[in-house]
């Protein structure tokens, strides 16, 4: 596993892509924090095959279409009991 900064990745992109093609994952950092990983197309395809990329709504639809899906049905009274009806806390703008 190699790790490079964004600036180094820009300067060495060709070499990093060649390394990724050989199967080496390249971790890219910004100010020392990981922000991205450069993978080969083959490795990305292998990882993505297990979890299809989808949006939120498509995920909800897939969940509902699952024959084992059991919707949770709470009554309004149950939900009302979850909220704290206390006076809240003091708040001052700008502090």
With a cut of 90, say whether residue 29 has pLDDT above it: yes
pLDDT computed for residue 52 by the predictor = 64
Pairing state of beta strands 2-5 and 26-30?
Answer: parallel
For residue 37, the surrounding DSSP H or E stretch is strand 33-38
* Structural domains in the chain plus CATH codes: 2-68 (3.40.1620.10)
With a cut of 80, say whether residue 83 has pLDDT above it: no
Q: Give the rounded percent of residues in the chain with a pLDDT score beyond 90.
A: 40
pTM of the full structure: 0.52
Instruction: Look at 59 and 38; give whichever has higher pLDDT.
Output: 38
Query: Who's near 40: CB < 8 A, 6+ residues apart?
Result: 20, 21, 22, 23
- 52-72, pLDDT tens digit by residue? 667 888 888 888 898 898 888
């Amino acid at each position: 596993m190699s790790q490079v900064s964004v600036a180094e990745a820009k300067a060495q992109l060709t070499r990093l892509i060649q390394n990724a093609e050989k199967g080496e994952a390249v971790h890219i950092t910004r100010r020392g924090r990981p922000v991205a990983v450069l993978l080969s197309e083959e490795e990305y395809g292998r990882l993505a095959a297990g979890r299809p990329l989808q949006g939120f709504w498509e995920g909800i639809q897939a969940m509902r279409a699952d024959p084992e899906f059991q919707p949770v049905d709470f009554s309004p009274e149950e939900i009302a009991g979850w909220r704290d009806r206390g006076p809240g806390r003091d708040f001052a703008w700008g502090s």
